[in-house]
C-alpha cells in the first residue's frame, strides 16, 4: 500500500514567483462569483510549472490576475499576494502594484503568450511594429533599431524570410507562424517569467511539438521561468518540472511531474490520468503480464477509457464541503462538512527533497 505522511518543508531556492492565497471574484447579474479561491504555488528560477485542469477550473483567471489584465467591466476583485523576484533580485508584490508600475513590468520582466494569437495580435499593425513597440517602450531603442531587433526575434523563433515577414500583417501568416510571433513578442525583452496560456490549443500536433520545443530551447538559453497553463497532460509529462492541478477554482494537488504521474493522491487527479489513452494501455499491459505470470488480474482485455461522472458545480451555488465530492467515487460523509485544507505530504514515490500538497481527507491512501 502506498502511504503518505506529513512532511516538513525543505530548504529551496528563492522562488521567481511565490503566489499566496490568490482569490479572484467577478460581478454578474446573479451575484458576485468566486472564480479562484485561496490559490498558492511557487515557481523557481528556470522551472516550468504546469497549471492543469478542465475548462472552467480557473487556470486562465489565475494567470490574468497575476498580469492585472482583467477587463474593467468585469469588476474583478483580486486578493492575496504574488511575490515576484525581478532581475536585480528585488521582490515586488504584483497584486499590490499600481497600474503604472505593473505596466513597466508587463512585456519587460513579466510576459504572456495568449491562447488565441489571431485575437491577441493587432490586425492593423504589422507583426514587426508590434514587437518593436514593446522594445521601444521598455528598452528605449529608436524606431530603426527596434525594428531590427524585431526581425532578430522572428529569426530566433525560426520564422523563415524574416525580412519579408516583419512587414506583414497577422492575417497573412499561418496559425503556427502567428503563435511564433506571439512568442517572439513575449520574448522581445528577455522576461524573467513567461506565462503561456494554452499556447498550442488551436495548432495541429506537428506544429504544437515545434512550438513546445522552441519554448524549451528559449528557456534553456535565457533561464526564464514558465507558468504553463494547459489541459493537455501529455504535454505536461514532456515539458513541465512540476504540476499544480486545479478544480473549481482551487489547487487540489501539487507535485513534481514524476511523482504525480507515478502516484496521484487526489481523486480528481486520478480521474484526469485515467482519461488518458496511454494510461489505459499501461493498465492493459500490466494486467496481461500478471496473467502470464499466473496471477489474477482485475481485468483482462481492452479497457474503455475512464470518465469522471457529472460536471463542475456552478460557482453561484457551490456544494458544501469539498467541491469535487459530488463527482467523487471515494466520497465520505465528512467530505460534505468542510472544504479540506491543502496539506503537505511525502509519498514513497517522491524524492527525498521534494514534497507534494493534496486537498483531500483521504490523501495517502492507495492510488
Q: Rounded to an integer, what is the distance from CA 346 to the centroid of its chain?
A: 23
Where are the extended beta strands (E) located within 53-211?
77-85, 91-93, 110-113, 193-197
Task: Tell me the whole-structure pTM to 2 decimals.
Answer: 0.85
Task: Tell me what pLDDT residue 10 has.
Answer: 41
For residue 149, the enclosing domain spans 14-254
* 323-340 per-position pLDDT tens digit: 999 999 899 999 999 999
Q: What are the angstrom distances between the C-alpha of 254 and each of 75, 215, 262, 346, 364?
A: 30, 23, 13, 11, 14
Task: Tell me what pLDDT residue 99 has.
Answer: 92
Supply the mean pLDDT for the chain: 86
Residue 284 lies in a domain: no
Residue 304 lies in a domain: no
- 51 or 31, higher pLDDT: 51
Q: How many domains does the chain have?
A: 1
Residue 287, pLDDT > 50, answer: yes
Cα separation, 322 vs 326, in Å, equals 8
* 84-136 per-position pLDDT tens digit: 999 999 999 999 999 999 999 999 999 999 887 778 899 999 999 999 999 99
CATH of the domain at 196: 3.40.50.300
Residue 294 lies in a domain: no
Residue 263 lies in a domain: no
Per-residue pLDDT band for 200 (boundaries 50, 70, 90) equals confident
Per-residue pLDDT band for 298 (boundaries 50, 70, 90) equals low
Phi, psi angle pair for 57, to nearest 5°: -80, -15
Residue 158 lies in a domain: yes
Residue 296 lies in a domain: no
Amino acid at each position: 500500500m502506498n502511504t503518505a505522511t506529513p512532511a516538513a518543508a525543505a530548504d529551496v531556492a528563492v522562488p521567481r514567483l511565490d503566489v499566496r492565497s490568490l482569490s479572484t471574484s467577478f460581478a454578474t447579474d446573479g451575484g458576485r462569483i468566486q472564480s479562484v479561491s485561496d490559490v498558492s504555488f511557487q515557481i523557481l528560477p528556470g522551472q516550468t510549472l504546469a497549471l492543469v485542469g478542465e475548462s472552467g477550473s480557473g487556470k486562465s483567471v489565475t494567470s490574468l490576475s497575476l498580469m492585472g489584465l482583467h477587463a474593467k467591466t468585469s469588476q474583478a476583485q483580486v486578493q492575496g499576494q504574488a511575490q515576484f523576484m525581478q532581475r536585480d533580485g528585488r521582490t515586488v508584490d504584483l497584486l499590490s502594484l499600481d497600474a503604472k508600475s505593473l505596466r513597466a513590468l508587463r512585456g519587460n520582466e513579466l510576459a504572456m503568450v495568449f491562447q488565441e494569437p489571431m485575437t491577441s495580435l493587432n490586425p492593423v499593425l504589422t507583426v514587426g511594429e508590434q514587437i518593436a513597440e514593446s522594445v521601444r517602450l521598455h528598452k528605449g531603442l529608436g524606431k530603426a533599431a527596434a525594428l531590427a531587433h524585431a526581425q532578430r526575434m522572428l529569426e530566433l523563433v525560426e520564422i523563415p524570410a524574416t525580412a519579408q515577414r516583419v512587414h506583414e500583417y497577422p492575417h497573412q501568416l499561418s496559425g503556427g507562424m502567428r503563435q511564433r510571433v506571439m512568442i517572439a513578442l513575449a520574448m522581445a525583452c528577455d522576461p524573467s517569467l513567461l506565462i503561456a496560456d494554452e499556447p498550442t490549443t488551436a495548432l495541429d500536433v506537428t506544429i504544437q511539438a515545434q512550438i513546445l520545443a522552441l519554448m524549451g530551447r528559449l528557456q534553456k538559453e535565457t533561464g526564464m521561468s514558465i507558468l504553463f497553463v494547459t489541459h493537455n497532460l501529455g504535454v505536461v509529462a514532456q515539458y513541465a518540472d512540476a504540476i499544480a492541478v486545479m478544480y473549481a477554482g482551487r489547487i487540489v494537488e501539487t507535485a513534481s511531474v514524476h511523482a504525480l504521474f507515478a502516484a496521484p493522491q487526489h481523486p480528481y487527479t486520478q480521474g484526469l490520468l485515467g482519461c488518458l489513452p496511454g494510461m489505459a494501455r499501461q493498465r492493459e499491459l500490466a494486467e496481461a503480464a500478471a496473467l502470464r505470470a499466473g496471477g489474477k488480474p482485475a481485468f483482462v482485455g481492452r479497457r474503455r477509457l475512464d470518465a469522471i461522472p457529472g460536471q463542475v458545480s456552478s460557482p453561484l451555488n457551490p456544494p458544501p464541503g469539498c467541491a469535487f465530492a459530488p463527482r467523487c467515487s471515494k466520497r465520505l460523509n465528512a467530505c460534505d462538512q468542510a472544504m479540506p485544507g491543502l496539506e503537505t505530504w511525502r509519498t514513497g514515490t517522491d524524492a527525498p527533497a521534494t514534497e507534494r500538497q493534496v486537498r483531500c481527507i483521504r490523501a495517502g491512501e492507495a492510488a
